[in-house]
Structure 1
């Protein structure tokens, strides 16, 4: 390939990356985004006070609120109004054609009495599971909404274990004085003996063939519900409300279509174990916009079932627009996985800010999941104070990868092999991260077809590409403190590095590892004037690398 042709190729990468994304195979593009249909409701309004509800923070209003919702639905729908006040309640079932509306000073507080939440068959982390009934739930409803400006509080602290190192000394002291149980090492607080025993004996919630809910009664308190669980619903709107303090995940729509989450505030303490903000699972035609999240686990997360169950379900999360959102504390600002066995595709993320999350853009999976995540489009994302990586792909989630240079037996590709491919990531700025870009695939299935353009990353470390194929970095500014090397490659193939800027103190720009590396091309980038500017290790050699200009 001559240099003239390669210059033309890089010009296309530099100037036309977005065009390439728009013209890539698929129904949707930046000029033709997916849409989600909104529900509509009659103006008829029923107040929960007309059904006996009392806003004294003591009276349990479960019956009154559910009767109001049922009556409204039976009349053909409308609005169920929750006026100002502190409304204590148990589980609430949403029904078709009903808009549950909370005024600005309404607080819907779910009871701390765990006996109010019966064991039910549900779904958690992609598997059929025994869980306590979600405080808010709906199954196979159509035309349903929760709107307003009020607060929905799940009273999560009565459910969740807490690690000592997540709290201040005074917070820990108060938690221990509250009651509950401590782990043997005294570093974890459990809200009950039941939850402690379940954790220490590694009892899970997944229901095996032949098991019934009775088999889980002895660990009921351990089976924390998600605050909102919507299963198989259509035309759903969540707008304006604050959802906070969830026992498990906060918002969990599953197998829903035409789903809109707009202008929500989603809050959990940063110590909230499994305190995800939004877990959108196997849903189709979704809009998430104008939301603010500050949570204890992943912020905005895409899922589609786990392992064999997810593959059998075969329902990807697809046709999703995520825009104009702000994420503070979270394990990932925008996340896909690790339960992605049904796949994910046609997802567009733009105009979002992540301020203080552990990871910015986070994509995670592992052997056994299966599933294909593809056609993911991301642009105009701004990050600050990311404690981990700004952009992160990892196919070794909760498993141990081989050491650099270690000989491995490469497994065959099967339906259990996951795949990340066709990601188009443009115009990303990060001020402060542990690492700029980290991509790690599997020997049998590399992370492939990742196009990163116009990226500025102020981070301690630069770029790691491990078991990766067809990765293109164009106009990437690596303001990294740890500059040896700026780019690390291990068993990486078809790597294009064009117009890469890096710390002027860098003595080693690139370190190539592994005999399965190859076709590494550098253009419009000046190498350090040192003998060790390029290094080859563990079977890599100079024939794998070429500098075009």
Structure 2
């Protein structure tokens, strides 16, 4: 029998569902990823014995909740786990399909700082080993595999990785295994992550891997700017990924598109493709706003970045690769960048030498071509371009148009340093290097928009 409060939640969900499917134009809209209706089954984490005092370990409560709601979701209508205001300490836990994790305002899920609470899991097949250390890796804080229709949202509640203990051990070389990521979903599709704050990840924050149809919108990601490897969002061997209206302060790349590491990525052969990054604001003094690579051995193609802002960030849209990587980075389209205090506006690197083991093939050379930058404004710039391809494997098809880089008072005298690159430029200031000196037309940007995720985000509240 439903309690009065539970009945109110259920009625509200049904009304929102009816509004979602019955509104004007609904018949013309495709079914939304994550479902167009609010979840039928709604439970609070407190109903599974959780205590939000920041001290009680709630790992078992989260496991019970997800297991119970997985069974309920199988009955139809999906399920939502509501995390109310409070501090909810827990070890790692997994999600399930047709499921919403909803954080109220003032809710904070805290990751346990006891490494014994983090089990070991297998390395990713496209990496062959943990990213930090050989062998297995620590579990991710929130995870899941082979899932469909997953939503992580709320009223800007927080998922806090409490990463300081991990960073200290990493710097002290006291970790035997690779750090876990704050959120990693594998082999999953129809994912929405919106209106949540992610703080102090042990390593990478959001890592959709081998996934399709992923929307990440209105997310805030925060980490100290010198914390190690706290990438913001890393789509990895994933397709149809939309990242929009996010704010990221990071100790590493704000966005890093990846697709596996050396021979393991080549063999796995799953590219990252059809990726949109727009209206991003990034602060990362030691890394890139958007990086492509360096683990790109399965290939990266059709990446579209537009209307993005970087402040006090090392570089804008950076290509990272090296001998042994193989794979490709091609058909990259960038326009509408606003950059403020940059070390390099353009940076391409072909000398990444870290390998998973000693079996990397020195003949596996990457193909980098079709890289387009247009409508870029930068101020307080130290150096316009550092463009380094690979000897006997130049980066080709680079296009720059309508670019202005206003120099910092202490800017370098040499503004372009170019080796093993070929391209064209038009309307670029300061004048580019001879390797990019051929006069070209305005760089292209695809006119047809990629269709990723629902036409609008679900507006359910619980």
TM-score (norm 1): 0.68
Q: How does 1:217-232 map to 2 (within 5 A)?
A: 219-220=176-177, 223-232=178-187
User: Does 1:315 pair with 2:270?
Assistant: yes
Choose the corresponding residue for 2:374, options 405, 417, 426: 426
CA contact (8 A) 2:425 2:432 kept: no
- Higher RCO, Cα 8 Å, sep 6+: 2
For 1:68 and 1:85, the matched residues in 2 are separated by 17
Deviation track 1:16-40 (CA, whole Å, cap 9, x = no partner) reads xxxxxxxxxxxxxxxxxxx996212
Q: Which residue of 2 aligns with 1:519?
A: none
CA contact (8 A) 1:425 1:452 kept: yes
CA contact (8 A) 1:36 1:260 kept: no
CA contact (8 A) 1:48 1:81 kept: yes
How far is 1:415 from its partner? 6.1
User: Does 1:254 pair with 2:202?
Assistant: no
For 2:142 and 2:195, the matched residues in 1 are separated by 16
Q: How does 1:33-52 map to 2 (within 5 A)?
A: 38-40=33-35, 41-52=38-49
Q: Which residue of 1 aligns with 2:346?
A: 391
Q: Which residue of 1 aligns with 2:428?
A: 476
Q: Which residue of 2 aligns with 1:147?
A: 153
User: Does 1:450 pair with 2:398?
Assistant: yes
Deviation track 1:254-306 (CA, whole Å, cap 9, x = no partner) reads 10001111100011111211111111100011100000000101111100001
How far is 1:128 from its partner? 3.3
How far is 1:487 from its partner? 4.4
For 1:37 and 1:431, the matched residues in 2 are separated by 40
Q: How does 1:64-463 map to 2 (within 5 A)?
A: 64-76=61-73, 77-123=78-124, 126-129=127-130, 130-148=136-154, 149-161=156-168, 190=172, 195-196=173-174, 219-220=176-177, 223-329=178-284, 331-386=287-342, 388-398=343-353, 416-459=364-407, 460=411, 461-463=414-416
For 2:31 and 2:314, the matched residues in 1 are separated by 30
- Cα 1:271–1:419 change in 2 (3 A) is same
- Cα 1:415–1:287 change in 2 (3 A) is farther
CA contact (8 A) 1:268 1:296 kept: yes
Q: Report the more deviating stretch, 270-279 or 255-264.
A: 270-279
Question: Which stretches in structure 1 are left out of the alignment for 5+ residues?
Answer: 1-34, 162-179, 181-187, 199-218, 400-412, 479-485, 500-549
How far is 1:462 from its partner? 2.4
Deviation track 1:455-484 (CA, whole Å, cap 9, x = no partner) reads 001232422331122x11100122xxxxxx
Q: Which residue of 2 aligns with 1:206?
A: none
Q: Aligned pairs, how many?
A: 388
Deviation track 1:186-220 (CA, whole Å, cap 9, x = no partner) reads xx953xxxx43x6xxxxxxxxxxxxxxxxxxxx25
CA contact (8 A) 1:439 1:465 kept: yes
CA contact (8 A) 1:36 1:259 kept: no
- Cα 1:239–1:495 change in 2 (3 A) is same
TM-score (norm 2): 0.80
Q: Report the more deviating stretch, 79-88 or 415-424.
A: 415-424
Q: Report the more deviating stretch, 35-44 or 310-319.
A: 35-44
CA contact (8 A) 1:332 1:362 kept: yes
How far is 1:68 from its partner? 1.2
For 1:428 and 1:133, the matched residues in 2 are separated by 40
Q: Which residue of 1 aligns with 2:438?
A: 496
